[in-house]
Amino acid sequence: MLFRKKKSKTIALYPENVGDTLRHIAFIMDGNGRWAKSRSLPREMGHKKGAAVFEKITLHCFSRGIHAVTVYAFSTENWSRPQNEVDAIMALLSEYLDYAEKKFKDYDARLVILGDKSRLSPELRAKAERIEEISRDRRHVLNIALNYGARDEIVFACNSLIAEGKTTVTKEDISSRLYTAASGDPDLVVRTGGDFRISNFLLWQSAYAEFYFTKTLWPDLTETEVDAAIADFFGRHRRFGGL
C-alpha cells in the first residue's frame, strides 16, 4: 500500500510498512545554537528546545515502524565548547534519561549509548548504564551518540579485537565491535542545519546510507518534514554498486 501526499510539491509515495525497508534512521541534530541566536536567546535555550524536538521525532519514527533511531547528541569535538554550554547539554541529557527510564517501556524501546562513557560524569554514566541494562531486550532501539566520534569508535573496535588476540580482522569483526553492533548500519542519515558534512558521525556504518540534508534547524524540525525525508528515501534507487 502506498500513501500519496497530495498537497506536497512533489508527490511523495512510501509503503505502509516503512520499517521493512527503512530499518534504521540517523539524525545529525544540528542548528540549536543558530535557532537560539535568531531569537536573541542564549544557546542553551536552543538545546532545550532541541531536546524536546528530539523526544517528539524519535517517537514519531518508532510509530512509523522504524526499528532503530540514532541521534547525534554530543561529539568528541563538542567538549571544546564553553563549559557552561557543555554543562547545559549534559544536564538536558540527564533529564532525557530520566524520561527514557520511565517512558521507554511503553514504546518497547531500548537505549544504547554510542560513545566512550568514561568521560561522562559518574552520575550520568551510572544512569545511562542502568537504563541500557534494564531495556536491553526490547524491540526498538534508540542510540544516543554521546561523546561519540566515528574515528575513535573504529580505533576502539580495532583495539578490542587486538585485545581478544586477533592478528587479522574482517569487516564483520569490525562491525561487530562498533557501538552500533545491536542496530547495524543506518539506511538514512538526516542532517538538519544546512551544512553538507558528516562531522565524524558513523563513518564506517554510513558507507551505503542515503543522505537527506535540510536547511531546517533542528528545533524547527517537524514530523511532517521527517515524513518528507522518509518519502524521499523511498524515491531513491539504492544500487550498492550494482546496476
Binding site for ligand IPE (CB under 6 A): 28-34, 72-75, 78, 89, 193, 195, 197, 199
Closest residue to ligand IPE, based on beta-carbon distance: 33
Catalytic member of 20, 78, 84, 152:
78
Q: Is 30 a catalytic residue?
A: yes
C-alpha to C-alpha distance for 237 and 243, rounded to whole angstroms: 10
C-alpha to C-alpha distance for 139 and 151, rounded to whole angstroms: 28
C-alpha to C-alpha distance for 39 and 166, rounded to whole angstroms: 54
Catalytic member of 30, 185, 187, 227:
30
What minimum distance in Å lies between the beta carbon of 156 and Mg ion?
24
Which of the listed partners (ligand IPE, Mg ion, none) does 4 bind, with a CB threshold of 5 to 8 Å by partner kind?
Answer: none
Residues at the interface with Mg ion (CB under 5 A): 30
Which of the listed partners (Mg ion, ligand IPE, none) does 21 bind, with a CB threshold of 5 to 8 Å by partner kind?
Answer: none
Which of the listed partners (Mg ion, ligand IPE, none) does 233 bind, with a CB threshold of 5 to 8 Å by partner kind?
Answer: none
Please, which residue, 29 or 59, has the CB nearer to ligand IPE? 29
Residue 159 cell numbers, joined: 583495539
Which of the listed partners (Mg ion, ligand IPE, none) does 74 bind, with a CB threshold of 5 to 8 Å by partner kind?
Answer: ligand IPE
The per-residue b/e assignment along 93-119, b for 16 or more CB within 10 angstroms, e otherwise, is beebbeebeeebeebebbbbbbbbeee
What minimum distance in Å lies between the beta carbon of 52 and Mg ion?
18
Please, which residue, 30 or 44, has the CB nearer to Mg ion? 30
Active site residues: 30, 78
